[in-house]
Structure 1
Amino acid sequence: MTHVIQLEGVAKRYDSAGAPALGPLDLGVAQGEALAVTGPSGSGKSTLLNLVAGLDRPTEGAVTVAGQRLEGLGEHALARFRRQHVGMVFQFFNLLDDLTVADNIQLPAQLTGTTRRRAAARAEELMELLRIQKHARAYPGRLSGGERQRVAVARALVNRPALLLADEPTGALDSASGQDVRELLADLHRGGQTLVLVTHDLALARACAGRTIHLVDGHLAVDTRAEAAR
């Protein structure tokens, strides 16, 4: 089994005298797997996502993503790694309001050195796939929340990442738009995309993920794959 994510003895402390915000934790996520991470506020969900994305460093243990050990990389190398291998989707979209939809999607590809022509072709492919091509020349502020989240997903996928991370992707959406995004993420998973999503939305977890882990006080309380194996 090929693992896209491998955490070995990973712990993160923000206060050297206090309990870890996360861990120690061992966790593997296989290629093509969709994992939902649930738990109450302060349980370590965002810390886990930040460690996997290379946005934070573990206090102890090893984090390997797409075959690369992250904890030893410098900031520039981590930024380059994220652009090439990790796509991220956020609760509040994080789109650039002064760029069109097409330009928002193309930007990460251009930052990796892809030519504008190839980036535009990839953006067009994704806009068609995600049914937002009619908004190509629009600005994000003129779109609905669900449409903006589709743009954010397209931007996250433009570099064909090994891993897609989603942090509360339906948290800022109304129920109809949230359902739309649930269906989109489920379709991506069925197409083979490796996905990790942090969510309080149990309907999203059930719809999009074949496996759920539940964190409590930084520790792994439930892993549905482990339970199924018993």
Structure 2
Amino acid sequence: MTYVIELAGAAKRYDSAGPPALGPIDLSVAQGEALAVTGPSGSGKSTLLNLVAGLDKPTGGAVTVAGRRVDQLSEHGLARFRREQIGIVFQFFNLLDDLTVADNIQLPAQLTGTTRKKTAARAAELMEVLGIAQHARAYPGRLSGGERQRVAVARALVNKPALLLADEPTGALDTASGHDVRELLVDLHRGGQTIVLVTHDLALAQDCASRTIHLVDGHLAADSRAQAVR
């Protein structure tokens, strides 16, 4: 079995006097798996996501993503690794308002040195698949929340990452838009994309994930697998 994520005794402590924000924790996520990370506020969900994304370094243990020890990479190496191997979808989209939809999607690919012709072709493919091709020349501010999140997903997928991280991807959306993004995550998982989804929404986890872990006080309290994603 191929693992996209392997945490071995990974821990993060922000305050030497207090308890760790996370861990130590052992966790492996297989290729093609959709993992939901749940737990109350302060349980370590965001810390876990940041360690996997290389946005933060552990104070103990090892973090391996797509075969690379991300905790041992330099800042420059981490930035390059994230661009090539990790796509991140945030709660509040983080799109650039002065760029069109197409340009927002293409930007990460252009930063890796991919030619404009190839990035344009990949962006067009994703916009068609995600149902936003008609908005290619529009600016994010003119789109609905659900449409902006689809743009954010396309941007995250433009480099064909080994791993898609989604941090509360429906948290800022209305019910209808949230349902659209939920269906999108299900489709991506069915297509073989490895996903780690951080959410407070247990229904979202149940619908989108093949496996759910629950964190409490920085520790793994439960780990369950779904029989099937609908």
**Which TM-score tier does this pair reach, normalised by the shorter chain?**
over 0.9
Match of 2:104 in 1: 104
Tell me the SS of whatever aligns to 2:181: helix
- Mapped to 2, the partners of 1:189 and 1:80 lie a distance apart of 25
Shift of 1:11: 0.5
Match of 1:185 in 2: 185
- Mapped to 2, the partners of 1:93 and 1:11 lie a distance apart of 28
Deviations 1:118-141 (A, max 9, x none): 000000000000000000000000
- Mapped to 1, the partners of 2:211 and 2:33 lie a distance apart of 8
- Mapped to 1, the partners of 2:83 and 2:2 lie a distance apart of 21
List structure 1 runs of 4+ shifted beyond 6 angstroms: none
Match of 1:171 in 2: 171
Amino acid at match of 1:145: G
Amino acid at match of 1:5: I
Shift of 1:72: 1.1
Match of 2:28 in 1: 28
Percentage of matched positions with identical amino acids: 84
Deviations 1:53-78 (A, max 9, x none): 00000000000000000111110000
Shift of 1:17: 1.6
Amino acid at match of 2:138: A
Match of 2:44 in 1: 44
Amino acid at match of 2:158: V
- Mapped to 2, the partners of 1:164 and 1:71 lie a distance apart of 18
- Mapped to 2, the partners of 1:225 and 1:6 lie a distance apart of 18
- Mapped to 2, the partners of 1:183 and 1:123 lie a distance apart of 20
- Mapped to 1, the partners of 2:204 and 2:83 lie a distance apart of 26
Amino acid at match of 2:51: L
- Mapped to 1, the partners of 2:180 and 2:71 lie a distance apart of 36
Shift of 1:225: 3.6
- Mapped to 2, the partners of 1:16 and 1:75 lie a distance apart of 24
Amino acid at match of 1:132: I
Amino acid at match of 1:6: E
Match of 2:6 in 1: 6
Tell me the SS of whatever aligns to 2:71: coil
Tell me the SS of whatever aligns to 2:186: helix
1:87-166 to 2 correspondence within 5 Å?
87-166=87-166
Shift of 1:163: 0.1
User: TM-score by structure 2 length?
Assistant: 0.97
- Mapped to 2, the partners of 1:67 and 1:57 lie a distance apart of 17
Tell me the SS of whatever aligns to 1:71: helix
Structure 1 runs not aligned, ≥5 long: none
